[in-house]
């Protein structure tokens, strides 16, 4: 290995600052699937940090579909969708998603992060107004920054605060919220926000990365939970890296929006299409989500959520107002969150400590995520271990 030139001082001091504040981020290598049990080095842990909420990432039907589609169409996307990377499995997936959710068109993106950058930067031009929830995902914020839009953020989940900002704006623009908030697990007041957007003649966009597959009728997510449709929610983002158990993302929208995004969404235009094999696996995943097996998985997940919340009632913990698979426990400072996470690990339970800047300062937490892949015994181990660690704290 060749010697690396000395790193710049500003970089070394930024790293040192992170270390001092217990905020250093590191990857962990797993020698196994993520859930229900993960192998780190030689140790086995019951794992509660994956977004594979329905336990589909290792489902035999998805693995088979990935294999079969790769055999027929290849592994790599080969080029962007607009050059020659849009293959039959992509189109089949787009059509199936549009049909499932009741939209005219669906467009695939390679990741959720890129879908949000692409859609927002195309729809919100320089200086145009974008109003978002304070706790929206980083990719939604970054989309508005990339667009050089005039961004304002309303108090979390607070429709009155959103209305105040909308009424103050002289131009109409784009109102954006997460469906399920990724770090808190609560659901946005979508019906009220949709009414607000209609009243003020604003575009309305929801990122339902954490709700699709898990919530609502047929797993149609927050859209179904809030009783919305394409007319009241014209721009819906979904991702495949969570309940779908695969990778990639999509926007469900109208013909006009889709045609416009095809011309102007740069993270759609200038990147390699998602792998066709992944599109095949994702279609297999959608078919499970729509089936009675999908419903059984959602029911199992709901039972785990109810059990977890009931067990936590007797503990001295700050739980979030969440009925979803995301069940964070607020710790406050980063050091405590890391310590508790390490002590759980010593009992064979893995949940990551989430720290600023991913969450606000003073909002460090264990982001516990539950999955249909967990057994009842896994849930008992999680709750017993939390009881042990938090009561002995």
Q: Which is nearer to ligand PMP, 49 or 197 (CB)?
A: 49
**Minimum distance, C-beta of residue 207 to ligand PMP, in the bound complex (Å):** 5
Q: How many CB atoms lie within 10 A of CB 366?
A: 26
Q: Which residues pair with 178 in a beta bridge?
A: 207
Long-range Cβ contact pairs of 343-346 (< 8 A, separation 24 or more) = 343/389, 344/385, 344/386, 344/389, 345/45
**Minimum distance, C-beta of residue 142 to ligand PMP, in the bound complex (Å):** 10
Nearest to 345 by CA among 39, 52, 58: 39
285 contacts 93 by C-beta, under 8 angstroms: no
Binding-site ranges for ligand PMP (CB under 6 A): 111-113, 116, 137, 139, 178, 182, 207, 209-210, 239, 241, 249
**Minimum distance, C-beta of residue 134 to ligand PMP, in the bound complex (Å):** 14
273 contacts 90 by C-beta, under 8 angstroms: yes
Residue 388 counted as an annotated binding residue: no
Cα–Cα distance, 134 to 121 (Å, whole number): 19
> 90, 210, 304, 374: which one is catalytic?
210
Residue 113 counted as an annotated binding residue: yes
Whether 210 is catalytic = yes
Residue 137 counted as an annotated binding residue: yes
Residue 307 counted as an annotated binding residue: no
Cα–Cα distance, 168 to 159 (Å, whole number): 14
Residue 67 counted as an annotated binding residue: no
Q: Which is nearer to ligand PMP, 184 or 378 (CB)?
A: 184
Q: Which is nearer to ligand PMP, 177 or 224 (CB)?
A: 177
Whether 182 is catalytic = yes
**Minimum distance, C-beta of residue 110 to ligand PMP, in the bound complex (Å):** 8
Residue 272 counted as an annotated binding residue: no
Residue 358 counted as an annotated binding residue: yes
Q: Which is nearer to ligand PMP, 182 or 285 (CB)?
A: 182
Q: Which residue is nearest to ligand PMP (CB)?
A: 112
User: Which residue blocks in the chain are alpha helix, DSSP H?
Assistant: 9-20, 60-73, 88-101, 112-123, 138-147, 159-168, 190-200, 221-225, 255-264, 266-269, 276-290, 292-312, 334-346, 376-391
245 contacts 56 by C-beta, under 8 angstroms: yes
369 contacts 325 by C-beta, under 8 angstroms: yes
**Minimum distance, C-beta of residue 282 to ligand PMP, in the bound complex (Å):** 12
> 50, 110, 121, 182: which one is catalytic?
182
> 242, 334, 341, 374: which one is catalytic?
242
C-alpha Rg value of the chain to the nearest Å: 21
266 contacts 284 by C-beta, under 8 angstroms: no
Q: Which is nearer to ligand PMP, 207 or 378 (CB)?
A: 207
- Binding positions for substrate: 25, 137, 358
- Binding positions for pyridoxal 5'-phosphate: 112-113, 182, 210, 239
Give me the active site residues, please: 182, 210, 242
- Binding positions: 25, 112-113, 137, 182, 210, 239, 358
């Amino acid at each position: 290995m060749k010697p690396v030139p000395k790193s710049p001082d500003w970089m070394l001091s930024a790293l040192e600052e992170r270390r001092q504040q217990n905020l250093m981020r590191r990857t962990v290598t797993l020698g196994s699937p993520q859930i229900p049990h993960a192998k780190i080095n030689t140790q086995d842990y019951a794992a509660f940090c994956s977004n594979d909420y329905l336990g589909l990432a290792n489902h035999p039907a998805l693995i088979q579909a990935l294999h079969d589609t790769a055999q027929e169409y290849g592994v790599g996307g080969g080029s962007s969708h607009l050059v020659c990377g849009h293959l039959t499995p992509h189109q089949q997936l787009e059509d199936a998603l549009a049909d499932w959710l009741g939209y005219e068109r669906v467009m695939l993106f390679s990741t959720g992060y890129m879908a949000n950058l692409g859609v927002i930067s195309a729809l919100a031009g320089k200086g145009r107004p974008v109003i978002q929830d304070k706790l929206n995902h980083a990719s939604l914020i970054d989309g508005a920054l990339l667009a050089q839009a005039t961004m304002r953020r309303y108090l979390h989940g607070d429709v009155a605060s959103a209305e105040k900002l909308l009424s103050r704006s002289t131009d109409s623009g784009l109102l954006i919220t997460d469906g399920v908030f990724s770090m808190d697990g609560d659901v946005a007041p979508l019906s009220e926000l949709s009414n607000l957007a209609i009243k003020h003649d604003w575009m309305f966009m929801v990122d339902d990365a954490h709700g699709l597959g898990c919530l609502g009728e047929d797993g149609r997510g927050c859209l179904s939970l809030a009783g919305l449709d394409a007319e009241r929610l014209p721009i819906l983002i979904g991702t495949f890296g969570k309940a779908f158990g695969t990778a990639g993302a999509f926007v469900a929208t109208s013909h006009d929006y889709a045609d416009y995004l095809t011309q102007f969404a740069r993270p759609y235009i200038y990147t390699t299409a998602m792998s066709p094999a992944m599109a095949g696996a994702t279609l297999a995943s959608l078919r499970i989500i729509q089936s009675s097996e999908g419903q059984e998985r959602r029911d199992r997940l709901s039972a785990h959520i109810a059990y977890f919340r009931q067990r936590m009632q007797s503990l001295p913990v700050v739980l979030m107002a969440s009925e979803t698979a995301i069940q964070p426990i607020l710790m406050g400072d980063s050091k405590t969150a890391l310590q508790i996470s390490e002590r759980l690990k010593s009992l064979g339970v893995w949940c990551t400590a989430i720290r600023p800047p991913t969450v606000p300062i003073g909002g460090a937490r264990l982001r516990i995520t539950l999955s249909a892949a967990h057994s009842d015994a896994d849930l008992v181990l999680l709750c017993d271990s939390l009881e042990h660690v938090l009561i002995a704290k």
